[in-house]
Each structure stands twice: as C-alpha cells, then as structure tokens.
Amino acid sequence: MPTSTPKSKPNNESVSEAERRIERLALHLNPVMGGALNQLEMVTCSRGKLSVETPSLSSYLRGKYTEIQEKIIDYFNANPHLQTPLEISKDEHRELCMRQLLGLVREAGIRPLRCVTDDPAMYFAILEAVGSVDMSLGIKMGVQYSLWGGSILNLGTQKHKDKYFDGIDNLDYPGCFAMTELHHGSNVQGLQTVATFDPITDEFIIDTPNDGAIKWWIGNAAVHGKFASVFARLQLPNYDKKGVSDMGVHAFIVPIRDMKTHQPLPGVEIHDCGHKVGLNGVDNGALRFRSVRIPRDNLLNRFGDVSRDGKYTSSLPTINKRFAATLGELVGGRVGLAFSSVSVLKVAATIAIRYSLLRQQFGPPNQPEVSILDYQSQQHKLMPMLASTYAFHFATTSLVEKYCQMKKTHDDELVADVHVLSSGLKAYVTSYTAKSLNTCREACGGHGYAAVNRFGILRNDHDIFQTFEGDNTVLLQQVAGDLLKQYMRKFKGGTLAVTWNYLRDSMNTYLSQPNPVTVRWEGEAHLRDPKFQLDAFRYRTSRLLQSVAVRLQKHSKSLGGFGAWNRCLNHLLTLAESHIESVILAKFIEAVQSCPDPSAQAALKLVCDLYALDRIWNDIGTYRNVDYVAPNKAKAIHKLTEYLSFQVRNIARELVDAFDLPDHVTRAPIGMQSEAYSQYTQYVGF
C-alpha cells in the first residue's frame, strides 16, 4: 500500500487504530498521486524483471508424456458432441460420461489398463488429460481401471488376469470397487459384509448382514457396472467346533448384472445414490447382497487362498499383515488423486491470474486504471498460491516416480515410504486446492461467480477429493503415526526410511539451542539460501515431533493409548502437515537445481524462495516462540516475502503459460454477449 500520509489528517498519537485502518483502506481505493506511482514502480521495475523462456520452462514441467495428452485433447476437440455442456441433467451427464470413456478407448485407441501395468506414469498423464475434459470422466476412468482393474491386477493372481484383463481393458466388463459401507468408510477393518465358504458347493456366499453393511457410494454401480470387487470378511467353517473362523477382510469378484439383459442378478439389490454436490457424471450406487453365491476362484487370492477342502493358506502370518499388504497395493488411487488435484489447482490459478492481469480497477487521479494484480492484496492472494502450485507439481511428480519404482521392485521399504507419502501428499494437496478454489473465485469478483468461468464446477467436483481414497484427517494421522515410529526407531538404533533421513540429526542439530548469530542474520542471500529454508522447515517438524512424543507418553499413563492420541490429535495433525511441507520444499529445491535451462532455473528459484519464505512467515509465531529467528529477522522475512511476491507477479503470465493447459480448460467465455468484456476472451481464462 502507499506509504504517504493524507495531508488532511495530522499524524498524531490520538488517532485511533480504527481510523488509521480506514485511512489505509481509503488510500488503497483512492490513492494520492505520488504514493500510487511509487507503488507501481516498485511492482514493475524493482531490480528488473526476469526474462523467462516459457517453452523451456514448459518442457521441463510437462515431461515425456506430452504426445499422448495432446492425442486425447485433439480427440475431444474433434468430437464436440462428446464435450460436456454447461447445463446438463444428472442422467444425461452419466450417459455422456460413459460415451466419452467408450470413445476414448475404442475410437481414440487409449488403453489405460495396459499403462497401469506397464507404465503407471503414463497412466497418470492420461488421467490428467482426461480430467481436463470432464472431472467426472477422470473419476469414472479411475474407477474402471485403477480401482476395479487395479484390484484384479494387484490383489488377484494370473488366473484372474487371464480371465478379466481384456474385458476390463476394452470396457466389455465395466466394474465397481465395493469397499465403503454405510457405517464404515475409513475403518476398512470394521467392514461387516461377509463371505462364507460353503465346502459342499465349493462357493462363497456373499451376505449383507444389516443395513449398515450396505455398500455405499460405489462408482459405476447405479447404472453401468456389471462386476464388483467386493471387500468382505472371509469366514471359514470350523470342523472341530461350532461356528466359523474370521480370516479378515478379503476381496471377491462378484457379478452384479446380467451380461446380456443388464438386469441385476438374483440376490443383488442395486440402488441409486442420487444427485451429488459434484461429479454427477459418475453413477454412484448402493449394493446389497442376499446370499449371493460365487465360485471359489472368485476370491482374489494373492495374499490368502482357500483350498477345495476349506483350508486357508497365506504367505503372511497375521490378519493385520494381510490387511496392510492388501491396502498397500491400492495406494495408486491416492497417488492419482494428489497428482490430479495439482492439475485442478493449475487450472484455477491460471484463470484467476490471467483475469487479474487484464482486469483494471481504480488508479491515480486522471490516470488509467491499473491491473488488479498490481494491488498488493491481490498478489497476496494469488502469488503464494502460484508458488505452491509449482511446489506441488514437483512433489507429486516425484511421488509418481517413486510409485513406479515401487511397482517394479516391490521393495518393502519403498512400499512403506510410498504408502505414507501418498497419504500425506493426497491429504495436504487436496485440502490446499479446495481452499484455493474459493480464493480464486473471490479474486475474480462478481465475474468469478458466473458458472461459465468453471470455478463452481471445479470446486464442486474437486471437493470430494478430500474424502475418498481416505479421509484427509485420517491420512494425516497415518503420517504422524509413522513419524512417531521413525522417532522411536532412532532411539533404538535402527535405520530410517529414506524420506525420514533428516530425523537422524533432528534431536541433535535441530533441537539444540539456536545459534545466537544465525538467528539474527537478515541478509537476502542468507534468507534465500535453500539450506536455511529447509533447515527451518525441518527444525519445526522436529520440535513438533519431540514435543508430541513427550505429550503422548505423559497422557497415556492416565488416559491409555487411544485417549492420549485423541488428546494430542490436533498436535499430531500439525506435525504431519509440517513434515509434508518439508518433503514438498525438498523436492522443489531438487527440481530447481536439476533444471538445465538457466532462464527457467532462475524463475523456479524465485518461485521456490517465495514458497519457502511465505510458509515460514505464515508460522512465524512458532519460530519466534523458540527464538529460532530474532524480531528483526522476522521483519526481514516478511519484507522479502512481499518483494518476492512482487517479482513473481512480474512473470506471472509466463509462469501460468508454462503449464501449457489446453484452451478448452482455461477459456470460459464470460460476457461474450457484452462488448465491454469481449477483450477478456482474447486471452484470459474467461
């Protein structure tokens, strides 16, 4: 904001805080000449503007799967009848979504299931492109190939792949993933659906024992699905005594509709979950089973099998280990959601920033109005968000690479690492994107409220990302739990997982008394040093980890383990978020250092510095409370963060152009009927 004081108001100490705020607001809306010009000079000219080669930056971002993504976009551009209109009913949207998927597979020749097995990174690239056409289509494709198809590939054995692979791949066998129940979503081990083995007929009997066990929110179930991977408690009869043995949750292939008539099969009840807040192109339904019999071979038996005489065998000795192995093979869904959420954030940020560059409001008297992105308040909303978008891009890209490596090697340590990282990144990124969608809408004022600009559609469709494939609060607790295990392992002399290596030194370097000299260093070179930034992030995480471990030990004596965990739950969630932020920054720094183009590298360094210092400033109270930074250093961080935000604003157009999003993704023709706003359709997201 301008720094000059209105001449009509004397500068004395009797002026109330409220009056001073009113003065500043008045200056913001109707600034005096000198102050406004000085402000704009600082924004546009301070220390010069970086020269960014957008094609080089875009090439570094997009990687090696550009060709197949463009093939998908070109197919839908060439088939306007497959593009989703703004106004469409639930039933029409569902049918269109199925036609879109059929066209993608059978006409465009895209075979996602083969990529799930041969090249998961390509699968996620396909998912990103498909989601840009219609997020409902992306989710429907994910249900078919990642969930239904993935359960066959990851939980079944060769006999299942031989029988079902081609039908799933070409959409002859549309299917569902029936895990969630009405009374149990996050607590998968508490599922109540049962699969009882009948040794006489060599079959499993699938039963829904009560209303709470009805399979709920099952994608593809309401209209299109013919099969379902049903997760149920495997029960075997006891021959030496009455009753049955519960072997834990397993997955079973259950046909739900007749292949010819498409009618529900005997004993299968299918209900429609109806209209939802978003993703209405996906036909979510409810499934109830009444003594549905399936062959013994329909048990997905990679981690546990039942012989003809009813004996159970498994390479894993306990129910908990089998359960962990089963869920561990399903982490691809979380990886995909984290990756897709970043794509949504790119779209929203691009539309809001392009609009803010062209939209002009207010300005100095008798001078042209200025771009609203020249206002510090607008930069504060959008520039750290743009920096976060870049940070999340590199973090989720790294996660995809690690997931691909895990699928090739099946290394136990890598499996555990990917499980926790995918949980944390999915929770953190989807929560941030959900909040940012509202911020982008508000940043575009009244125009942002028109449906054609896509903010409402994006917000509603993305909202459920925070819940499915694991509730975000539950997933963050998994991250916190693993951090505590790593913490205890350190004191027992064990080795740490790769991602947690910095904890080796945390209780020594990071938790020692802060250096009285470095806490006062205020120089720009020091504050923009990646080592200072990463040390600050990790210091905070380590302090949180140590303090919550002490609290849990204290409260467990009086409250027990469960009660102590609940008492410290908010602390644990903060710990998990802090750790994930440390991981994100580390990956961003690696990406900056690996960038081969000097122009792109300079731009990324600027954006990375803004991401890091903005996060530090947002939690400056924590650093001040433990004297990690002195008061003057805190002020220097704040000033430098504002300066970096100004600098990122100067290259904001190039930064969003580097995402290289298809025109149909960011162009929403707001006000095309009005001459006053036709200029926006030339370039802006509207």
**Binding-site residue ranges for FAD:** 180, 219
Distance of CA 7 to the CA centre of its chain: 50
Q: How far is CA 86 from CA 60, 298, 451, 640, in A?
A: 33, 42, 8, 43
In the chain, the amino acid numbered 24 is: R
Which residue's entry shows tokens 């059978």? Answer: 106
Query: Which residues, including other chains, have CB under 8 Å from residue 589's CB and lie 6 or more apart?
Result: 530, 533, 534, 608
- Residue 461's closest CA among 280, 313, 620, 333? 280
In our burial notation (b when 16+ CB lie closer than 10 A, e otherwise), range 482-512 reads bbbbbbeebeeeeebbebbebbeebeeebbe
> Among 181, 203, 469, 642, which one carries the catalytic annotation?
469
Torsion angle defined by CA atoms of residues 80, 84, 86 and 91, in that order, rounded to the nearest 10 degrees: 130
Which residue's entry shows tokens 């046909």? Answer: 255
In our burial notation (b when 16+ CB lie closer than 10 A, e otherwise), range 618-627 reads eebebbeeee
Q: How far is CA 197 from CA 125, 179, 265, in A?
A: 41, 20, 20
- CB 174 within 8 Å of CB 196: no
d(CA 72, CA 68): 6
Terminal CA-CA length for the chain: 28
* CA within 13 Å, CB half, 429: 32
Distance of CA 314 to the CA centre of its chain: 34
- CB 281 within 8 Å of CB 140: yes
Tell me if residue 469 is catalytic.
yes
Which residue's entry shows tokens 């036609």? Answer: 99
- CB 82 within 8 Å of CB 100: yes
Active site residues: 469
